[in-house]
Structure 1
C-alpha cells in the first residue's frame, strides 16, 4: 500500500485503543475533566457495569457553545498553550484526546452551560460523527452521557469482562478519587440503585474518607506522616506493620493529586517496611507526593498512569527515609493523635484485630477510675546490671506474689507505657498492669527485637569490616555493570566490597564484608550489582547483613520456658519502650497486645 493519511475516525479509534481500555477508563477521563472544571459535586450513573451507559454530571465551569465542537476534536484543550505549560502541568487532563477518542467508539452526548449563559448547548455523536446540535435546558455545569461502548468495534467489546468485574474497576478508580479529593461530593449509582456516596468535607486532614474507602481497620492502624525537603513534600498515612495485606490492594500513591503507579516509590516503601513486615505480606498506605511540576513529567503514559521524576533517586531516598523514620516509632510509648504529623505516631496494641468501635485506639483516649489495686514498681535497680542478668542464662527463679511486696507506690503520671510486670504466663508471656488495664508481652519476640536493634546499631557505629579474599575472584559482567562499579566504587568500599574493573567486560572481587564472606560471593556480588543498576542503592547488602543479624538476635534472645524474675521482666519492658520498632519482632510478628479495663468490664457485663 502507498503511504497515505489515515481518516480522522480511524485515528480517533486508534487513540481510543490507548485511552479507552474499558468502562473504568471512560469514567476516569470524564470525571477528571469535571475535576479540572472546578466541580464540587459529581454524579455518576452506570448501567451494566458502564458498558450499556455511563452518565457523568458536574457543577463545574461548563463549556461555551462555540467551544463545544472543539472539545470533541483531537488535541484541543484549554489546559496548555505552550511547551512551558506542558512542563508544569497541574491539571488531571491536558492532551485533549479523551473526548474524541471516547466518542469514536460509542454513542455520546454532551450538554454544557456556563454560568453566564441562559441555555446550555447540546451535541450528540455516534461513532465520532455529529448527529445533532441544539440549545438545551441545563443548570450550570456539564453532563456527558456515553452509551453502548465499543458498539462499532465488536472485537474490543468481546474482551470486556463480566458486569461485576467492570463495575469493580470503576469502584477502585473512584476510591482513588475519593482519597485524593475529599473536597468533592461524589455520588455513584448502578442500574438505578445508589451504589456509593462520598460526602464533601472541609477538613482535608480528616480520616473520614479513609474510613469510608479503606475501612475502620485501616484507620485504627494508620499513622499519619508529613515531611518536606527542597521542592518536595510527602504526607499521608501508612499502616502499622502488624496491619498487613496478602496482596498490594491498599497501596495508593498520588503525585500532585494524580493517582499513579511508580516502581521507584513502591520500592522505597517496601524497603522501609522490609525490617518489620511479616514474610510474604504487603504494607498498606495512602501517600501524597507534592513536587515542583517542573521536576516531574506526567506526559509519559497515554492514560497518565505513570510519571517520570527528573531526580528519581532523590525522590526514592526521601520517601524511604520518611517512612523508615515513622516506622522506627512503632514502639510502646510513641502514642499520638491520629491526625498529628510526624512529631508523633499512633500506637495500638500490636494486634492484627481492629479495636471495637468503643475501644480507644490510643492511651490518651480514655482514663479509668482509680483502681482499688495499687500499681507498684520494684525498687530494685533495673538498668545495666539487671539487663546483663536478663541477657544471660543465669536466673531460674519463679515469680510469686511476694516478689512485688517490697515495691513503692507510684503516682499515675509515673506509670510507664507498658506498666509494671506482675507475672509470667506459661514461661512465654509477661503479664503487666498498666494505667488503662493490662499488657501481655511475648518475651522472646520482644527481646529478639531489642537484641537485633542493638546489633544493627553497633554495626552501623563501628562500620562494616572487609575481609580480603585469598585469591581474588574474577567475574564476567555486562559493560554497564562494569561502568557502574567504576562510577560507584566508593559506595561499594563503604560497605566492605573492593571491586575493580579488570577489563571491558570483567570485574575483580578483592574483598567482601566479613559477615558475608562465608556465603556465595559471586551470587552476592551479582545481586548487589543488580540492585545498584535498578534502584541506585545497595539494599541487597543491607538485607543480607540484617538477615544474619536477625539470626544472631534470635539465638541470643531469651527462650520459652525461661523463668524471669519481676525485675528482669521490668527491665525487658523498659527496654521495649526505648527500642525502635519494638511493636513487632524481626519477623513482623506483634510483640505485645493491650486489654483495657473497658474491655474487661464488657467481658463481665460490669456497669450494665
Structure 2
C-alpha cells in the first residue's frame, strides 16, 4: 500500500498559509503592500479586536479587473512577474502570488474592487479557500479587502495569539514602519472606528517621522543624503540625545520595502559606537536605493528578510554615510541648566557647583549627581518640585565617624569587614580585609545598595510632582502598551495624564527620581514592554525600574570619595542580600588574597 500521498488542496493551503499569515499584522502587511503595488495614494486600515475579528484595508489604486478577480485567489497567480528571469530584478513589494490565497485559507474574506475605467465593480467572498460568491458591485475606484474571523478554522493558531491590545499595537507599529518607508502615501488607521494614526502623504520624510514619533523627536533628527555609484542612501538620523535601549527604533527600508537586514543594522550601530553609551541604540530611518539585481528578496514568504549580494561594501557605505551626516554642529545638545559637568585634565572628573559644597558626607556627594546633567534640546520642562534625594541616604553619625561595634551589622550574607585604604583612578575603592586586598567598583556597589533599597520600599512608593509636565509623544504601539500597563506605572509612582491621541503628560515620578532623566527612563520602560510583550510581569517590571533608577542615582566612576564616604558605602553594602554584583550582573567586589600577593612578590 502506498504511503506517500498528495495532500488535498485544503490541507496544502492551510500549511502554506502558516508561513505567510503568522498573526493579524501579517495580514495588514500583505494587504497594504498589495495596495502600494497597485499605485495607491491613500490607504485606510480599520481593525477590531486587534485584527482577530476584522481587518479592512481600502485603497484608491488601480483595482482588479472583474475577469481576474476569481483568478487572484489561486495560489501563485500574480500580475507582477511572468518568468524566472523576473526574480533577479524585483521592483514590486509582492511577487509570489501567495498573499490573498493564504489569507483566504484561514479567514472569511471579501474583496470589492473596481478599475478606474470600469462602470461597475466586482465583489468576491471566500471562506476557507472556498469561493462562496462572485457578484457585480458598486464601488469607488480601487480595492477594499475585508478579513473577518481570522484563524476561525485553525483553533490552535488562534489560541497562540496575544491579547487584542498587543496584536493591535503590532498592527499599528507595522503601519508606522510602512509610512516611514513610503512617505508619499497617505495612511489612515482606525481601531473600532477611532482614529489612531494618520500620515499626510506629503512625500517628506520629516512629516512622516513627525506623524510616527512626534514633533519633539523629529526635531532631534538630521537629514541624510548620500550617493555613490548606483547606490543612494537617504533618511533621517537621530542625535545621540534621543537614543533608546533597544533596536526597535532603527527602521531599514531597501528599494521601498521595509525589511530586516543584519549587516546594515550592524553598520548603523557601528557608526554610533563612539557617540552613545554602552547599551544605548540610535533612532534612525534609513532608506537604501540599490540596483535590484544586488538584492535577493526571495528569502522567506513573509518577505521581511532580504540578502544583499555585496554585504561588506553596503555596510561600509552605510557607516560612511551616517558618519558624514553626524559630523555637524547640530549634534551638540544645548544645556537646559547653567550647571553642568566640567572635565579637568587627567583621569579625575570633578563635579562643579554654583555654591560651595563640602564632600565630607556620602549623601552630599551622591546628591551632586542631580546637579550635573546635560539636557538635550527640548521644550518640555523636566524640573522636579523638590531636590531628588538618593536612596540609601546614610546617617549623620556614621559619616561623622561615630563609634561602631566591631563587624558589620544586619548581614544577610557573609561579607568581610573591610577597612578602606584609598581610591584608585578614582574608579575603585581599595580596602583591606582579614584575608586579602579587596577592590570595590564604587558605582556597581552603590548601584546594588540603591537597587535593594528601592525594592524594599516598593510597597510604599511615593510620587513627587514635577513643576512642569513632561510631554511624551508616543508612537501607536507605545501608546497601546502604556494604556495596557497604566496601573503598573501608577503603582510605581508615575502620574500620567492622557493629552489626546498618542500624546501623554508625565506630571509626577517616583520619589528620588533623577532629575533630567524622566524621558530616558520612561521610554526604556516602554521598550521593556515592547520586547517582553505578554511575557512581562509586575515583579520584573519593578526590578527593571529599580535597576534603572539605581544606575542613574549611583555615584559615578570618576567621583572622588573621602575615607568616611568609602566606609559608609562599604558598611551599607554589607547588609544587602547580594553585595557581590550590581543589578545588571557586573561584579562589584574582587579579592586578591595575601597569599597571592606573597607569591607574586616571591616571598
Distance (whole Å) between structure 2 residues aligned to residue 246 and residue 215 of structure 1: 18
Distance (whole Å) between structure 1 residues aligned to residue 43 and residue 322 of structure 2: 34
Aligned position for 2:77 = 76
Distance (whole Å) between structure 2 residues aligned to residue 129 and residue 392 of structure 1: 76
Alignment of 1:338-349 (within 5 A): 346-349=330-333
Distance (whole Å) between structure 2 residues aligned to residue 276 and residue 560 of structure 1: 26
Question: Is the 1:111–1:138 Cα contact (8 Å) retained in structure 2?
Answer: yes
Q: CA deviation at 1:168?
A: 0.6
Alignment of 1:8-47 (within 5 A): 8-47=9-48
Q: CA deviation at 1:169?
A: 0.5
Distance (whole Å) between structure 1 residues aligned to residue 171 and residue 128 of structure 2: 23
Distance (whole Å) between structure 2 residues aligned to residue 429 and residue 220 of structure 1: 24
Q: CA deviation at 1:49?
A: 0.8
Question: TM-score of the superposition, structure 2-length normalised?
Answer: 0.55
Q: CA deviation at 1:144?
A: 0.8
1:304 aligned counterpart, secondary structure: coil
Aligned position for 2:228 = 229
Structure 1 residue 125 and structure 2 residue 109: aligned? Answer: no
Q: Which range is displaced more, 5-14 or 19-28?
A: 5-14
Q: CA deviation at 1:391?
A: 5.8
Aligned position for 1:280 = 279
Q: Which runs of 4+ in 1 moved over 6 A?
A: 428-431, 558-561
2:70 aligned counterpart, secondary structure: helix
Alignment of 1:208-223 (within 5 A): 208-223=207-222
Question: Is the 1:114–1:141 Cα contact (8 Å) retained in structure 2?
Answer: yes
1:280 aligned counterpart, secondary structure: coil
Q: 1:429 to 1:96 in 2, by over 3 A?
A: closer
Aligned position for 1:319 = 318
Aligned position for 1:536 = none
Distance (whole Å) between structure 2 residues aligned to residue 391 and residue 348 of structure 1: 21
Aligned position for 1:65 = 66
Aligned position for 2:251 = 252
Q: 1:4 to 1:119 in 2, by over 3 A?
A: same
Question: Is the 2:179–2:208 Cα contact (8 Å) retained in structure 1?
Answer: yes
Q: 1:249 to 1:6 in 2, by over 3 A?
A: same
Which structure 1 segments of 5+ residues have no match?
A: 336-345, 355-389, 399-424, 432-557, 562-608
Distance (whole Å) between structure 1 residues aligned to residue 143 and residue 87 of structure 2: 25
1:224 aligned counterpart, secondary structure: strand
Q: 1:117 to 1:350 in 2, by over 3 A?
A: same
Q: 1:321 to 1:236 in 2, by over 3 A?
A: same
Distance (whole Å) between structure 2 residues aligned to residue 221 and residue 123 of structure 1: 48
Q: What do the CA deviations read for 1:152-207 (whole angstroms, capped 9, x no partner)?
A: 111110001100000010001000111111211111111122222222214x3x51
Q: What do the CA deviations read for 1:2-41 (whole angstroms, capped 9, x no partner)?
A: 2222212222111110000001100110111011000111
Structure 1 residue 136 and structure 2 residue 137: aligned? Answer: yes
Q: CA deviation at 1:220?
A: 2.4
2:331 aligned counterpart, secondary structure: coil
Distance (whole Å) between structure 2 residues aligned to residue 321 and residue 34 of structure 1: 34
Aligned position for 1:238 = 237
Distance (whole Å) between structure 2 residues aligned to residue 350 and residue 178 of structure 1: 31
Distance (whole Å) between structure 1 residues aligned to residue 373 and residue 111 of structure 2: 67
Which structure 2 segments of 5+ residues have no match?
A: 338-343, 353-367, 375-557, 562-603
Question: Is the 2:109–2:145 Cα contact (8 Å) retained in structure 1?
Answer: yes
Q: 1:190 to 1:310 in 2, by over 3 A?
A: same
1:123 aligned counterpart, secondary structure: strand
Q: What do the CA deviations read for 1:135-163 (whole angstroms, capped 9, x no partner)?
A: 01111111111100000111110001100
Alignment of 1:425-464 (within 5 A): none
Distance (whole Å) between structure 1 residues aligned to residue 273 and residue 307 of structure 2: 25
RMSD: 2.9
